[in-house]
Amino acid sequence: MKILYLFRLFYRELKTQEKRITLTIVALAWGTFSIVVLLSFGEGLNRQMMKSLHGLGEGICIVYGGQTSKPYKGLGKGRVIRLQEDDVELLKRRISGIGLISPENDRYRNNMTYGRKSLSERVIGVYPPFEDLRGYFPQRNGRFINDLDIKNKKRVVFLGTELKKRLFGEEEAVGKRILINRIPFLVIGVMMEKMQNSMYSGPDVDKAAIPFSTFQTIYGDKYLNRLIYKPKDISQSEIVKNDVYKLLSQKYKFDPTDKQALNFWDMIEEEKIMRNIFLGIEIFMGIIGGLTLVVAGVGVANIMYVSGKRRTKEIGIKMALGAKKRHVLLQFISEALIIAIIGGTAGLLLSFIVVELFKVLPLEGDAADILAHPVMSLKIMLLTAIILGVVGFLAGVFPARRAASSNPVEALRYE
Amino acid sequence: MIKMKKINKIYGTGASKVEALKNIDLEVKENEFVGLIGPSGSGKSTLMNIIGCLDVPSSGEYYFGGESVENFNHNQLAEIRNEKIGFVFQNFNLLPYATAYENVEIPMIFMGVKAKKRKSMALELLDSVGLAARATHKPGELSGGEMQRVALARALANNPSLILADEPTGNLDTKSGDEILAIFENLWKQGHTLVVITHNPNISARAQRIVKLIDGTIENNGK
């Protein structure tokens, strides 16, 4: 049957059942709108959370010392295990699965002075790979600490975004000298803005990073606060983690099965958990939206039932002229689908407008950062289209089956 | 063309049981013009429906063009109606929202004729009943006689071997009725087989053979 003819039929139905069809289209549009907007906000939330989770670093593992809980080779339990700088070299040399690695030590309440401004801030000492590990990316015309800085124990500093603002305001910082505990340091870079929801000892944007070697000449720490590594291949992270544990257990002589001797903060595992949580949220939202659409679908089915009853005579005539079951089915299903398509398109358009509106809305604050970034992905649109299609089809198919199985003689007699 | 042996049609069961047709034996030959008459309630329409494959008998044998229709399913019956039978009803049964030519197209749509060919054939058929000028009018804009001529054009759409008409002039004035009758005669001369239920003495007068039904049985089979 030709499309135009179907549209004509639909148009005629629209005229005779105007209010009912309009209401159903509105219901479908609203259902579509709810599901798309729900999922878009869910997707936006998901992406923002992931982004800020990655603010701490993508696929990294942070290792801290600990305290043994098992006796081992004549050594009692309760021994404190502390990491040392040469562990970095050892791990890098012996475990091929490690991609990047850096130690990190920090100090609070360092006096930091620029011009007449004096602040009390945090300083960390790190290796160059720290840049990629923890996302300390420089703004243009700046750089992070490099190997030469380490080798020559240079007094150079890389400033966190907020720290730079506190110290310099809008003024250019790179190339200027500041005093840290009265020792002059050259500013070599300023961090790019970043979102971060996981942290230890404060947000990165508030810290100042200096070469580890320089840090040691000032403070002379015997032990590391922590070390950070990233496996070459994230899928091998469990193996690498085990290797690290084993190697360090040999060096520090503790039972490799003693889970308290070292502490791991495994971002890879954390990310996995996050992803599952978000999948759960997404499914939950999808179900809510889907149920709304099903309610609208009942409306479509209702219309098709009424329409089928009103058109009994027409169906009878068509059957007398040779319409097979599938012709009647096709007509009804396609009409239900037309209603679903119109309602769905309207709903999609409306959600698109709302999602776009949120992009230009001047929303600020932490909550807005996380929540107000809806993303209308292809996945969401496809999912909605599929649900709408199924709803439209089901809403059409049951009334259609009833219409198609009517007795032609009785249908012809119907007035 | 048509052969019926001991056809019975029973509606309902128990106390409300109605025997609409009792032991009908009927044969219609190729290119016959048969008039079916009888008082209302005599079973004419039931017989028509069975002949037209709109309904199936409760018992008995029915052959259409040599084929036993007995075991045909819904779709096969629809195919016979579509390809071999052209229906003309007393109340025209045109689709009110479709134009004259679109109404004529309907049987061709179900047969799967391509749109372009469908349209040209529909216009040709309308021309043959003298309604070429009315092709784009909807039924509401046509007179009774014109509507019935559209219905006739539609009945001829797939060039059926049998034309079944149920009181085709029942709702028409004498003049329009005569026009329709003229077309019927013409069709008969062209070789179509016609079975017409009628109260119109003009039609029964021109029919080759009259079958009279009373109380579900054939009382008179011949002229």
Q: What is the pLDDT of residues B21-77, one digit of tens each?
A: 999 999 999 999 999 999 988 999 899 999 999 998 999 999 998 889 888 888 899
Where does the pLDDT of residue B200 fall: very low under 50, low under 70, confident under 90, or very high at 90 and above? confident
State the pLDDT at residue A204.
93
| Of B122, B168, B118, B117, nearest in space to B145 by CA | B168
Chain A residue numbers touching B54 (CB-CB < 8 A) = 319-320, 408-409, 412
Are residues B150 and B139 in contact, defined by beta-carbon separation less than 8 angstroms? yes
**Residue B102 touches chain A, beta carbons under 8 Å:** yes
- Which of B49, B87, B110 lies closest to A327 in CB terms? B110
Chain A residue numbers touching B136 (CB-CB < 8 A) = none
Give, rounded to a whole angstrom, the gap between the first and last alpha carbons of chain B: 19
Cα–Cα distance between A277 and A46 in angstroms, integer?
Answer: 9
Query: Cβ A324–B154 below 8 Å, yes or no?
Result: no
Of all residues in chain A, the percent with pLDDT exceeding 70 is 98
Mean residue pLDDT of chain A comes to: 88
Cα–Cα distance between A9 and A131 in angstroms, integer?
Answer: 66
Give the range among A386-395, B44-53, B60-69, B139-148 with minimum mean pLDDT. Answer: A386-395
State the pLDDT at residue A361.
79
Of all residues in chain B, the percent with pLDDT exceeding 70 is 99
Are residues B168 and B90 in contact, defined by beta-carbon separation less than 8 angstroms? yes
- Which of A9, A318, A409 lies closest to B55 in CB terms? A409
Query: Cβ B154–A321 below 8 Å, yes or no?
Result: yes
Query: Cβ A317–B95 below 8 Å, yes or no?
Result: yes
- Which of B74, B97, B110 lies closest to A321 in CB terms? B110
Residues of A at the B interface (Cβ-Cβ below 8 Å)?
1-2, 5, 8-9, 12, 313-314, 316-325, 327, 407-409, 412
Where does the pLDDT of residue A373 fall: very low under 50, low under 70, confident under 90, or very high at 90 and above? confident
Are residues A244 and A65 in contact, defined by beta-carbon separation less than 8 angstroms? no
Cα–Cα distance between B66 and B52 in angstroms, integer?
Answer: 15
Chain B residue numbers touching A9 (CB-CB < 8 A) = 97
Where does the pLDDT of residue A32 fall: very low under 50, low under 70, confident under 90, or very high at 90 and above? confident
Of residues B83 and A28, more confidence is placed in B83
Are residues B46 and B206 in contact, defined by beta-carbon separation less than 8 angstroms? no
Are residues A76 and A261 in contact, defined by beta-carbon separation less than 8 angstroms? no
Measure Cα distances from A30 to A27, A337, A390, B76, B203 in Å.
Answer: 5, 16, 17, 44, 61
Give the range among A229-233, B98-102, B113-117, B219-223 with minimum mean pLDDT. Answer: B219-223
| Of A281, A230, A220, A212, nearest in space to A95 by CA | A230
Q: What angle (nearest 5°) sits at the alpha carbon of residue B74, between those of residues B89 and B64?
A: 65
Q: Which residue in chain A has the smallest CA separation from B110?
A: A323
Chain A residue numbers touching B55 (CB-CB < 8 A) = 407-409
State the pLDDT at residue B26.
93
What does the DSSP 8-state code read for residue B215? T
**Residue B81 touches chain A, beta carbons under 8 Å:** yes
**Residue B78 touches chain A, beta carbons under 8 Å:** yes
Chain A residue numbers touching B83 (CB-CB < 8 A) = 322
Half-sphere exposure of B102 (CA within 13 A, CB side): 17
Q: What is the pLDDT of residues A304-314, one digit of tens each?
A: 788 778 888 88
Chain B residue numbers touching A413 (CB-CB < 8 A) = none
For A149-184, letters b (16+ CB in 10 Å) and e give bbeebbbbbbbbbebbeebbeeeebbeeebebeeee
Rg (CA), chain A: 33
> Does residue A11 have a pLDDT over 90?
no
Where does the pLDDT of residue A3 fall: very low under 50, low under 70, confident under 90, or very high at 90 and above? low
> Does residue A1 have a pLDDT over 60?
no
Residue A8 neighbours by CB under 8 Å, 6+ apart: B97, B98
- Which of A5, A322, A325 lies closest to B81 in CB terms? A322
State the pLDDT at residue A42.
85
Chain B residue numbers touching A313 (CB-CB < 8 A) = 93
Cα–Cα distance between B25 and A86 in angstroms, integer?
Answer: 111
Q: How many CB atoms lie within 10 A of CB A333?
A: 21
Which secondary structure element, helix H or strand E, spans residue A114, and what is its range?
A: strand A98-114
State the pLDDT at residue B223.
54
Strands (E), A223-319: 226-231, 262-266
Query: Cβ B82–A322 below 8 Å, yes or no?
Result: yes
> Does residue B146 have a pLDDT over 70?
yes
Q: What is the pLDDT of residues A322-359, one digit of tens each?
A: 988 888 888 888 888 888 889 889 999 999 999 888 88
Span A258-278, mean pLDDT? Answer: 90
Cα–Cα distance between B137 and B149 in angstroms, integer?
Answer: 13
Residue B167 neighbours by CB under 8 Å, 6+ apart: B89, B90, B197, B198, B199, B200
Are residues A156 and A182 in contact, defined by beta-carbon separation less than 8 angstroms? no
Chain A residue numbers touching B97 (CB-CB < 8 A) = 8-9, 12
Measure Cα distances from B217 to A345, B43, B199, B212 in Å.
Answer: 60, 8, 18, 8
